[in-house]
Chain A
Amino acid sequence: MGNIYHDKKLQWLAYAVFFAAIGIVPLFVGDAFLLNQLATYGIYAMLALSISLCWGFGGILNLGQGISFGLGAYGMAMTMQMQTQTDSNPIPPFMLNNSLEHLPWFWEPFSSTAGGLIFAVAVPTFFCAVFGSIMFRARVSGVFFTIMTLAMLSAFYTIILDQQAYTGGANGLTPPASLQIGSFEIDPYSATAYWIVFALLCVATVLAKLLTQSSFGLVTQAIRDDAERVRFLGYNVAGYETAIYTISGMIAAIAGCCWVMLVQYVSPAQLDVSLSLSMVIWAAIGGRNSLLWAMIGAFLIQGGQSYLGDQFLSTWLLLLGGFFIVVVRFLPNGLASLAEAGLGWLSARLPSKSGRAIESVTAEEGA
């Protein structure tokens, strides 16, 4: 009740501290390779954020977030690929190798950078809006929806893998140069690239946090609790579900764009089930009901993977599996539950207004 974990102002303060901490990283990291790797963590955070929004606040478990991420990534890779094509050489080399003579029609919009960037985000967003609205209107929910997302992910994976001439197949796309915005080239190993990801993550987080505090957020949480009941209050549940699923997909699509900006590479691996599962695990371990903790979950797991994973190899997977089971069994809201309990304990001992509130409640209970 008086737990400062639930204090809205302090929550914003926690976010400010979090972003200040990750914002100053480039000032201390001189190694360009390391900085690039740290920037990819911002992308994992964006993905964890999108899962937390959809699953934690909307109650919709999406195991196919790789669709949005992957389509966004392919869109960006296509844009960057087309930036390197010229009038005399208008067709990407891998297409020529597959004896295509004309640029396929769906590659055309990516010939312009602005068009390409817009399409890279708009296509996956539009897919989510259509797929979501078909499913949610038919009242497909819970585990059935989750299975449908998984099936869709596999379908996309197969198509992209299969259509080598148009997508690069298993090789994926490897744009030969970094992203060019106007006359400015974004070096993926620079602080600029890091700050672009950072700024997008920051904006996405603030908007997502505002969303959860709006009337929209209240309704989606009510739907998570009991969708059937919410209909009788006058809310079109399918509309809300489609909206939060689509917003979440859009964040993942932006993450996909950033990914290719940083690594200059995309392949069907970005649509592999294991990546989409990882996103859910990050959010589950960090705490899916907290945007901030879901992001911290992504940092911890991916950080552990990079550093411990290199040293212990297969043992790392066992560790991760064991850790996951412990968290799911004992901490239903992940590490965020620990923070909540810890701050609750602290609040009870603070000589403040909230502290007194707790005392009076205990007194009431005792009476």
Chain B
Amino acid sequence: MSGLLEIQHLSKSFDTVQVINDFSMEVTEGTICCLVGPNGAGKTTTIDLITGRVKPTSGKILFAGNDITGQDEHVTARAGIGRKFQVPAVLRDMTVRQNLEVAYSRQTNPFTNLFTFHPSGLKQKFDEIATLAGLTHRLEEFAGNLSHGETQWLEIGMVLMQEPRLLLMDEPIAGMTEAEIEKTTSIFKDLRKSATLVVVEHDMGFVREIADVVTVMHMGSLLAQGDIAAIEADARVRDVYLGEEEEAA
């Protein structure tokens, strides 16, 4: 199988600061790739570049064989890339129900949507995801009133409503309890059957559980890539990243 997502020699500088520096990686369809690295390594910026929120200085991004470099956010989303933000981003003034409904974006044309009142397939998908996210008893609550954990779940639910081929999850378990992390682990493993995941995460225990491949970034460049055992044995990774984690622990 070839890569669903291919990043080739990507670079991005903000003014004079080079944030991403000749970074390449490939994500195989149907796998979970964990993107790790110290704070400021450029993980979130990489996701911004893939989704089109920021445009690269140079380099190329291919998704399912198509060049999506520099495309707008809604274009990459329609192509099948879903994103969960590092700081949970939900529509705070809308109810949980509305958040999930609006995320079900099969039809995005404004004129068609003027005449759409009950999108086909919504009900079934809605019930499935609301149950999965454990939010069935909170549907009429405003998203702004949810607890941190519930907000994380709502945003994961929104990404799932999109039914993307590629899910980019920026620190999805931050602030979750042990039980919630366990649930996330099993959901992510389940998702792998129908989608491909790139997960940015600091929690090495979680990474060990879910990762098929681990990609380590450092100062905007690829430091190492491989399975978890190889990464944990890598001296350079221990130096710049894991050592730091152990000290912190």
User: Taking beta carbons and an 8 Å cutoff, which residues of A are in contact with B?
Assistant: 1, 211, 213-216, 218-219, 221-222, 224-226, 228-237, 239-240, 243
Check A225–B91 contact: CB distance below 8 A: yes
Check B78–A215 contact: CB distance below 8 A: no
A residues less than 8 Å from B111 (CB atoms): 243
Within 8 A of A (CB), among B5-32: none
Check B117–A219 contact: CB distance below 8 A: no
Check B117–A231 contact: CB distance below 8 A: no
Check A230–B108 contact: CB distance below 8 A: no
Task: Pick the residue among A211, A234, A239 that contacts B105 (CB under 8 A).
Answer: A234
Check A214–B117 contact: CB distance below 8 A: yes
> B49-87: contact bitstring with A at CB < 8 Å (1 yes, 0 no)?
001010000000000000000001110011000110100
Check A232–B77 contact: CB distance below 8 A: yes
Least CB distance from A170 to B in Å reads 40
Check B110–A234 contact: CB distance below 8 A: no
Given the known interface contacts A222-B98, A235-B105, the answer about A214 and B140 at a Cβ–Cβ threshold of 8 Å is no
Q: How far is the CA of A234 from the CA of B83 in the complex (A)?
A: 11
Check B94–A225 contact: CB distance below 8 A: yes
- Identify 24 residue pairs between A and B in the complex whose beta-carbon atoms are under 8 Å apart, listed by A's number: A213-B117, A214-B113, A214-B117, A215-B107, A215-B117, A215-B119, A216-B114, A218-B102, A219-B102, A225-B93, A226-B89, A226-B91, A229-B89, A230-B91, A230-B102, A232-B53, A232-B77, A233-B77, A233-B103, A233-B158, A234-B162, A236-B72, A236-B110, A243-B111
A residues less than 8 Å from B119 (CB atoms): 215
Least CB distance from A68 to B in Å reads 19
Least CB distance from A267 to B in Å reads 35
Additional pairs, 18, CB under 8 Å, beyond known A211-B114, A226-B89, A234-B108:
A1-B140, A214-B117, A215-B119, A216-B110, A219-B110, A222-B94, A222-B98, A222-B102, A226-B92, A229-B89, A230-B91, A231-B73, A232-B74, A233-B74, A233-B162, A234-B105, A234-B162, A243-B114
Check A234–B77 contact: CB distance below 8 A: yes
Check B74–A235 contact: CB distance below 8 A: yes
- B124 contacts chain A at the CB level, 8 A cutoff: no
Check A235–B108 contact: CB distance below 8 A: yes
Q: How far is the CA of A90 from the CA of B108 in the complex (A)?
A: 50
A residues less than 8 Å from B77 (CB atoms): 231-234
Closest chain B residue to A1, Cβ basis: B140
- B101 contacts chain A at the CB level, 8 A cutoff: yes
Check A221–B98 contact: CB distance below 8 A: yes
- B116 contacts chain A at the CB level, 8 A cutoff: yes
Least CB distance from A203 to B in Å reads 15
Q: How far is the CA of A221 from the CA of B72 in the complex (A)?
A: 21
Check B51–A232 contact: CB distance below 8 A: yes
Least CB distance from A357 to B in Å reads 10
Least CB distance from A356 to B in Å reads 15
Q: How far is the CA of A228 from the CA of B77 in the complex (A)?
A: 13
Q: Which of A228, A233, A235 is packed against the most chain B CB atoms within 10 Å?
A: A233
Task: Pick the residue among A1, A225, A239 that contacts B110 (CB under 8 A).
Answer: A239
A residues less than 8 Å from B53 (CB atoms): 232
Check A240–B110 contact: CB distance below 8 A: yes
Q: How far is the CA of A228 from the CA of B52 in the complex (A)?
A: 12
Given the known interface contacts A219-B113, A243-B110, the answer about A233 and B140 at a Cβ–Cβ threshold of 8 Å is no
Closest chain B residue to A220, Cβ basis: B110
Check A225–B92 contact: CB distance below 8 A: yes
Check B116–A216 contact: CB distance below 8 A: yes
Check B83–A218 contact: CB distance below 8 A: no
B residues less than 8 Å from A235 (CB atoms): 74, 105, 108
A residues less than 8 Å from B92 (CB atoms): 225-226
Check B98–A231 contact: CB distance below 8 A: no
Check A229–B91 contact: CB distance below 8 A: yes
Going nearest first, the 5 A-B pairs with the smallest beta carbon separation are: A234-B77, A231-B73, A215-B113, A216-B113, A215-B116
B residues less than 8 Å from A237 (CB atoms): 74
Check B158–A214 contact: CB distance below 8 A: no
Q: Which of B77, B101, B162 is packed against the most chain A CB atoms within 10 Å?
A: B77
B residues less than 8 Å from A224 (CB atoms): 93
Closest chain B residue to A207, Cβ basis: B114
Q: How far is the CA of A216 from the CA of B158 in the complex (A)?
A: 18
> B95-127: contact bitstring with A at CB < 8 Å (1 yes, 0 no)?
000100111010110110111110100000000
Least CB distance from A314 to B in Å reads 39
Check B94–A221 contact: CB distance below 8 A: yes
Least CB distance from B127 to A in Å reads 18
A residues less than 8 Å from B98 (CB atoms): 218, 221-222
Check A233–B114 contact: CB distance below 8 A: no
Q: How far is the CA of A227 from the CA of B226 in the complex (A)?
A: 38
B residues less than 8 Å from A232 (CB atoms): 51, 53, 73-74, 77, 82-83
